[in-house]
Structure 1
Amino acid sequence: MGWGSQLIASLKEGLRPVADLVYPPRCVSCGGAIAAQGALCAECWGELEFPGEPACKQCQRPMGSAAAAKSGTCYVCAGDPPRHSGIIAATLYNDASRKLILTYKHGGKIALAPLLARLMAARIDAPEGEGALLIPVPLHRWRIWSRGFNQAALLAREIAKAGKGELLVDGLLRAKRTPSLGGLGREERETALAGAIIVRPSRASQIAGRNVILVDDVLTSGATSDACISALLDAGAASVKVACFARVVDGRGLGGGKSGVPKSETPEAITAPGAT
């Protein structure tokens, strides 16, 4: 940390009591009083569900028992091996994580990015993050203009600040606008996304031969992550791991499909059959 950064950090710390007096710390989920800004209260924290063991060594999917986990691979990955090199999920998708994601992405509360990213970064081990490129799932420029930000890019930036990789915010490009994929079958989703996500030509040389961590907010059963992974591997990436804040499991749309790759979706679409 340079002298300027240290000075800024010291000023922030010195002004913290004043800020807390004017704006008392509140839980970012329920609004209850807490001790520090940008955190969760004990009750909301307790409602989050975190990945545990036993779990699939390839996709981190929870296994029902130690006996089922003997092989180390879930039935989805065993039947159709994924192209990714692993999944890093901060939480499992439930009501608590859904509320945070909707508030963050659709409520425009970008101040939640540091909290969500800290939980993600905590799951990225040093060997995974050392020298890896952090590349967010891209949004089409029209979606960015309407929303005002790319939620995955903000998370990737915060993870990079935590020292868990090198940020390459524009490594992927959504080259064409795609329709809503909710309600479409797999083949229709693949057709809609065909050629939609590519490696940005000016970044191809930076990606070739590198380990990549693909960053998004939610990982479920859509086709977007598959398209991102394929584009990165086709461009010569050595490997691609997927990091997300919330991971959908237990039959709520997490399937392998043709490539066995769990996919990224917006949380509000998960209730729709075949949603993306």
Structure 2
Amino acid sequence: MAQIRGWCKGGREQFIWVGLVRGTRAALDVVGRLFFPPVCLGCRNLVAAPGTLCSSCWKSLRFIEQPWCPVYGTPFEHEMHDGHLSAEAIANPPPFDSARSAVSYTSIAQHLVRGLKFGDRTDLAPWMARWMHRVGEDQFGENAVIVPIPLHRSRYLKRRFNQSAELGRALASISGLQFAPQILIRKRMTRQQVGLKASQRLKNVQGAFAVPDEAKASLVGRSVVLVDDVYTTGATAFSASRALKRGGAGTVHVLTFARVLPEDFAMEDRELI
């Protein structure tokens, strides 16, 4: 009986302790919301929960949905049969195996990307990565490793962080995959791609990436999820994918938050990134 009473007492104390912990967390949450209320990721207006968009910003966010080209990930206007390739995939097969992007590079997406990249808004990365994870789940094999597009060390010292690495780290946390930024390096300084034409972008990053010798053993045969913030013309993804394949990668799947779709290039007021 004494042993039974001890168990009951211990269980009651544990129950009380759990209740106190939960009550304290709830109280702290209320206080936190009072002094630091959640705001929209886009316009910073008040919203109901952290990491969300207000109704106005949400309406302007264009998600890229199927049907899409299985190689380039560009959406089709009409339903296509399984395995149907876009004209671009047939005429210009890329060095990567697939590309996926969460949203079109339109108003609110452009604002989020620029906030992360140029506004030191690293707090945006975990939320942006959630949308990327949703669209890129078919790329996350058991043997996959997440590799961000690297910055040259001089630019990294100036900017203090790599936006692609922030997205990649958040994706690794969500997916449980290995985050391996050391697998790919930018071996030479390149011009910023902003304002360059497609041919200039391709030439700018040609031969800019490499897999260090010490990383090749861990890369051989692996599936790589190559992470970047925006897919514009594909120049960076092409160059980095070729370097990864030369370094021994089995497959390379490009995953970005935003994508500049073909019709976006015709919009004169759109400043490409």
Which of the five TM-score ranges fits, normalised by the shorter chain?
0.7 to 0.9
Query: Secondary structure of the residue that 2:47 maps to in structure 1?
Result: coil
Change (3 A) 1:222 1:23: same
Q: 2:187 pairs with 159, 172, 175, which one?
A: 175
> Who wins on radius of gyration, i.e. which is larger?
2
Contact 1:126 1:164 in 2 (8 A): no
Please tell me the residue identity of whatever aligns with 2:212: R
Change (3 A) 1:103 1:72: same
Q: Are residue 82 (structure 1) and residue 94 (structure 2) matched?
A: yes
Q: 1:51 pairs with 64, 77, 83, which one?
A: 64
Counterpart CA distance in 1 for 2:26 and 2:141 is 28
Structure 1 residues 166-224: Cα deviation after superposition (integer angstroms, max 9, x where no partner): 11022111111112345556555444434321112221111111000000010011521
Change (3 A) 1:181 1:22: closer
Query: TM-score, normalised on structure 2?
Result: 0.82
Higher helix share: 2
Please tell me the residue identity of whatever aligns with 2:33: D
Query: 1:239, CA displacement in angstroms?
Result: 0.3
Counterpart CA distance in 1 for 2:223 and 2:270 is 30
Q: How does 1:184-199 map to 2 (within 5 A)?
A: 188-199=200-211
Q: For this pair of structures, how many residues does the alignment match?
A: 250
Q: 1:218 pairs with 230, 243, 258, which one?
A: 230
Structure 1: which 5+ runs fail to align? Answer: 1-8, 255-268
Counterpart CA distance in 2 for 1:50 and 1:188 is 29
Structure 2: which 5+ runs fail to align? Answer: 1-20
After TM superposition, the structure 1 stretch with the greater mean CA deviation from structure 2, 53-62 or 180-189, is 180-189
Counterpart CA distance in 2 for 1:13 and 1:166 is 33
Query: TM-score, normalised on structure 1?
Result: 0.81
Identity, % of aligned pairs?
32
Q: For residue 38 of structure 1, what is the aligned residue in structure 2?
A: 51
Deviant stretches of 4+, over 3 Å? 9-15, 180-192, 251-254, 269-272
Query: 1:60, CA displacement in angstroms?
Result: 1.4
Contact 1:155 1:215 in 2 (8 A): yes
Query: 1:109, CA displacement in angstroms?
Result: 0.8
Counterpart CA distance in 2 for 1:12 and 1:238 is 46
Contact 2:230 2:259 in 1 (8 A): yes
The CA RMSD measured in Å over matched residues stands at: 2.6
Q: Are residue 233 (structure 1) and residue 245 (structure 2) matched?
A: yes
